[in-house]
Amino acid sequence: MKLFKDLGLSSQTLKTIEEKGFEMPTSIQEKVIPAVLSENFDIVGQARTGTGKTAAFALPLIEKLKEGAKVVQVLVLTPTRELAIQVAEEVYSLKGRRRLSIVPIYGGQAISLQLRSLKRGVDIVVGTPGRICDHIRRNTLKLKNISYLILDEADEMLNMGFLEDVEKIMAQTSPNKRTMLFSATMPQEIMRVAKKYMGKYKLFQVSKGGMTVSRTDQIYFEVPARDKFEALCRIIDVEEAFYGLVFCRTKVDVDRIAHHLIERGYDADALHGDMSQAQRTKMVEKFKSRKINILVATDVASRGLDVQDLTHVINFALPQDPESYVHRIGRTGRAGKEGNAITFITPAEYRKLQFIRRKAQTDIRKAKLPRIKDIIQARKAKITNRISDIAKNELKDEYRKMSKELLGENDPEDVLAAVLQDSFGSQLDKSRYGQINDQPVDLKGKARLFVSQGKKDRLSKNKLKDIIKNKCGTAESNIQDIQIFDRFSFISLPFSEAEKVLAYFGQKKGRKTNLVIEKAKKKRSR
């Protein structure tokens, strides 16, 4: 296995890599970085999500770009705005002190902000095909002189119907540019684009091994957004020795959650991009030495963070994409030890979780949060074990003397109970925990749904139940009040389950079936 210093990178870049905490290059990085630095051919890289493709092309390109050029030198195309933001942030974190400007451009963001950035001059644009096409039509983004074009997650762009836009964009670029195409799979359409628009290229492939850590138990809890912090505290308290990373989406959330944890008495702290490098280094060392056992962080701030023996990685907020999920959970379950990856989702986020599960090709099972009585019982066991361990060690004479005095004047059971109450009473107080509505609601909180098929479509109650169970993971007990008519049907579901079903079958998007399920209208009749 090669080291980063063996790949031809400059000392300045190696210093940036070291500061980020990267230790060994991944397989795709080991192959692509030297090729970008020392060759002139185009590149096709086949590697799964989570293998470090961004750094593979970003590190060598950063070295080759002209600083302060104020013109677009690199265009990176991504299929989603979430990935565009992530890639832009990652490239920014890798540029070190080089005077290079990077901007993400995607639909949903105010175009006025993008126009101002482009007018000031940008070196690297990371964008989605639709919004890039908008700027080309407006003549606000000129690509004739770019030196590099990167197509990231090309197969996903194909699946999402962006291939036509991608070809339009490629046709607007300089014929002298270098093109790099990265994709998890290589369908014929992708290879057709490569052959049509790329010059002489080399194909680099990495092994098709699994993307996630096999010894990591991956579970998710469905809780309302307002209850996520309470759920986090329950997970921490039920464990005998919690040592983990808690991931949030924004710096504001990181500070807020870390502050609330500290207020509640946990040994926790924050890690995010607004901190100086010296602060981040100090915080990481603090966590590694276990002066704190909970580190709340953003994805970018934690990139390259190598900490051993983590018991948990907790996704307080869903990651932006499957690659982020893989990076996050890869930090637990190392060195042959079991690890736990926990994700909190709201009912509305179920579909996104399914997308992550499918793309990461992994199993994420649903579980129920620990009950308050379970947490109290776990805490009692910890206290009992702790006191037993102390009693087995050599006790200081001054405490033995105090013990004899107390026992001489009081009942031994009362003395021990008083010590326990004074020392651990707050930890065993049930009022410390709030109630969480993580259970399926009863039929008082149900939604009535209309189903577009009935008896004439050979739909039965059992068949309908099976379809919903298999497609949406809904428990059979939650599918109630089923009425099957000739041409349509009705069902009742708890609100949280109804959201999942509507997301999957609503708006005539019923995957491999012709089934459409939507909210029932009050006056719909037979």
Asked, for residue 525, whether it belongs to a domain, the answer is no
Burial of 384 (0-12, 13-18, 19+ CB in 10 A): exposed
Instruction: State yes or no: pLDDT of 220 exceeds 90.
Output: yes
Residue 210 falls within a domain, yes or no? no
Residue whose C-alpha is closest to residue 352's, from 343, 454, 468: 343
- On whether residue 50 sits in a domain, the answer given is yes
The more confident residue out of 468 and 327 is 468
Most confident range, picked from 132-146, 204-218, 313-327, 503-517 = 132-146
State whether 366 and 377 are in the same domain.
Answer: no
Token pair 């023996």: residue: 309
Overall average pLDDT of the 148-177 stretch: 88
Tell me whether residue 127 is exposed, middle or buried, using C-beta atoms within 10 angstroms of its C-beta: 0 to 12, 13 to 18, 19 or more. buried
Between 224 and 213, the higher pLDDT residue: 224
pLDDT at 253 over 80: yes
The DSSP letter of residue 443 is G
Residue 394 pLDDT class (50, 70, 90 cuts): confident
Same domain, 155 and 286: no
Same domain, 42 and 81: yes
Looking at residue 50, its pLDDT comes to 63
The SS3 assignment for 305 reads coil
Q: What is the pLDDT of residues 486-501, one digit of tens each?
A: 888 999 888 778 878 8
Name which of 203, 238, 229, 419 is nearest 311 in CA terms: 238
Q: Are residues 51 and 200 in the same domain?
A: yes
For residues 395 and 287, membership in a common domain is answered with no
Q: What is the pLDDT of residue 334?
A: 55
DSSP state letter for 67: T
Domain that holds residue 469: 443-519
Per the domain annotation, does 291 fall within a domain?
Answer: yes
Q: Mean pLDDT across the chain, nearest whole number? A: 84
Let me know whether 20 and 155 are in one domain: yes
Number of domains the chain is built from: 4
Q: How far apart are CA 464 and CA 490, in angstroms?
A: 10
In a domain, 526, yes or no: no
- Which CATH number belongs to the domain containing residue 464 in this structure? 3.30.70.330
Backbone torsions φ then ψ of 157, nearest 5 degrees: -65, -35
Tell me, yes or no, whether 342 and 397 share the same domain: no
Instruction: State which of 370, 396, 416 marks the end of a domain.
Output: 370
Statement to judge: residues 235 and 90 lie in one domain: no
Average pLDDT over residues 234-250: 90
CATH code: domain of residue 195: 3.40.50.300
Residue that terminates a domain, selected from 338, 370, 402: 370
User: Is position 100 within any domain?
Assistant: yes
DSSP 41: S
Q: Examine the fold and report which residue of 323, 343, 370 is the final residue of a domain before the chain moves on.
A: 370
pLDDT at 1: 63
311 inside domain: yes
One domain, residues 188 and 223: no
Quote the strand ranges of 398-525, DSSP E: 446-451, 480-484, 489-494, 517-519
For residue 203, give the 3-state DSSP assignment: strand
Q: How confident is the model over 15-55, as pLDDT tens digits?
A: 988 877 676 788 899 999 999 999 899 999 988 766 788 89
Question: Which pLDDT value is given to residue 510?
Answer: 41
Residues 126 and 153 reside in one and the same domain: yes
My answer on whether 466 and 396 are in the same domain is no
Note the Cα 325 to chain centre separation in Å.
4
Instruction: Specify if 473 maps to a domain.
Output: yes
Q: Per residue in 55-79, pLDDT tens?
A: 999 999 999 999 888 899 999 999 8
Q: Interior CA angle at 484 toward 482 and 486, to 5°?
A: 165
Asked if residue 429 has pLDDT above 80, the reply is no
8 A C-beta contact, residue 512 and residue 485: no
Please name which of 422, 455, 457, 444 lies closest in space to residue 494, comparing C-alpha atoms.
444
Contact (Cβ atoms closer than 8 angstroms) between residue 48 and residue 211: yes
Same domain, 72 and 146: yes
